[in-house]
Amino acid sequence: MPSEEVTDRRPSSGASAVRYAGATKRYGHSAVAAVDELTLEIPAGEICVLVGPSGCGKTTAMRMVNRMVEMSAGDIFIGERSVRDLSPAQLRREIGYVIQQIGLFPHRTIADNIAAVPQLLGWKKDRTRARTTELLELIGLDAELAERYPAQLSGGQQQRVGVARALAADPLVMLMDEPFGAIDPISRERLQNEFLRLQAELRKTVLFVTHDIDEAIKMGDRIAIMREGGKVAQYATPAELLMAPADEFVEDFVGSDRALKRLALMRVADIDLWEAPLAHVGQATAEVRAKLAEPTVEVPYPLLVDSERRPLGWLSERDLAAEVVPSKPDSPLGPLLDRDDIMRDALADLLQGEAQYAAVTDAEGRIAGVLSVEIISEFLASPKAKSEEHGAVERPHG
């Protein structure tokens, strides 16, 4: 019995590669296939986002994996095994399933909802209870909520429970169909970040369907952009997709702001920062002025730092008119960035603070350099930077 195999598996141990081998779905005798000979390989432990306009077959492609939609031709393999080797119900118990409308059982408590698959698999009560408690903790839900009903939870909390239910029996693969689509933008961002944090730990193979390219770029290790008729227009990492769209369709879908989108994939540390002339409290202003006069100077304002090289503020002309550098600078520090900040957020801080320059600090709070809007725009424009970007890509965490 395959269900016994599942029972024996240790939590958080399994993830299998998913391989589409010419998977095709044709409804009735329609000449146009909903999904046309899809061949795609998703490595174990990665998030693959299926993205595309409505009607492109992305949901159908996803639902063929757990046979909620039966293939007309071709095959899909989870690990070495075809999805056709098990009965649909048995197959589905090994695959996590999260949908946009959440679909919690309204008549069951939160604990029972999470325990749904373990119960189907016939786990012992103690084991199920322990797993439920573990999952509630994992998704950051108060244990008190375990005996509540879904209607008593917020939409965001409900979808967390939806994810927990999908994870309960430690599935080989997770299918997520626009899981955060019906949730308000602020909660959505939090849920996305939480899921990425979970995923960093669990390393499940995830098929994630969305129509939102920004979500695709944020969530995906790989993105399959699909076009009408269930064809894959491009299958690539987010950075490749933004840098080198395969054709006009992909370019259009990714959007004219793809340069900006690339910033969501980078951190401040990934770019060459400028150096500001540093000044210390009590230092002679003549010394500082001399530094400013050097031809190689990149930032025309001196940055006041303390003895630990932690930035305090910018010195103005008036500050420099004095004999020694004052302890309280004339201009406030303005936006202060961290080397680990996402570049897109850093740019937003710069623009929002109406600042030309922003000091960037390392983990200890010491000055690491200066970021300006100019650096960012030069970076985006330079072809050299584009080739560097490959190595620079790192998943943003919230």
Partner 1 sequence: MASPALTAAVGEVGKGFIQERSSDTLPCQATDKLFCWDWASEHIDRYGTPTLQHLELVAISVLIGFVVAFSLALLAHRHRWLQPPLLAGTGVLYTIPSVAFFFLLLPLTGRGEDTAIIALSAYTLQIIFRNTMVGFANVPKAVVDAARGIGQTDRQILWRVELPLATPEIFAGLQVATVSTVAIATLAAFAGGGGLGEPILKGGISFKTNLIIAGGIAFLIAVSLGLILFAAQRLLTPWRRARQT
Interface residues with partner 1 (CB under 8 A) are 66, 68, 88-93, 97, 99, 101-108, 116-117, 120, 148-149, 151-152, 162, 165-166, 175
Output 163 or 232, the one with its CB closest to partner 1.
Answer: 163
Q: How far is the CB of 181 from partner 1 (least distance, A)?
A: 12
Output 165 or 227, the one with its CB closest to partner 1.
Answer: 165
Q: How far is the CB of 120 from partner 1 (least distance, A)?
A: 6
Output 36 or 177, the one with its CB closest to partner 1.
Answer: 177
Q: Are 86 and 199 in contact (CB under 8 A)?
A: no
Q: How far is the CB of 253 from partner 1 (least distance, A)?
A: 27
Q: How far is the CB of 104 from partner 1 (least distance, A)?
A: 7
Q: How far is the CB of 32 from partner 1 (least distance, A)?
A: 25
Output 209 or 312, the one with its CB closest to partner 1.
Answer: 209
Q: How far is the CB of 58 from partner 1 (least distance, A)?
A: 16
388 CB contacts (<8 Å, ≥6 apart)?
Answer: none
Output 68 or 297, the one with its CB closest to partner 1.
Answer: 68
Q: How far is the CB of 243 from partner 1 (least distance, A)?
A: 36
Output 147 or 378, the one with its CB closest to partner 1.
Answer: 147
Output 148 or 197, the one with its CB closest to partner 1.
Answer: 148
Q: Is the dihedral of CA 296, 300, 304, 309 positive or negative?
A: negative
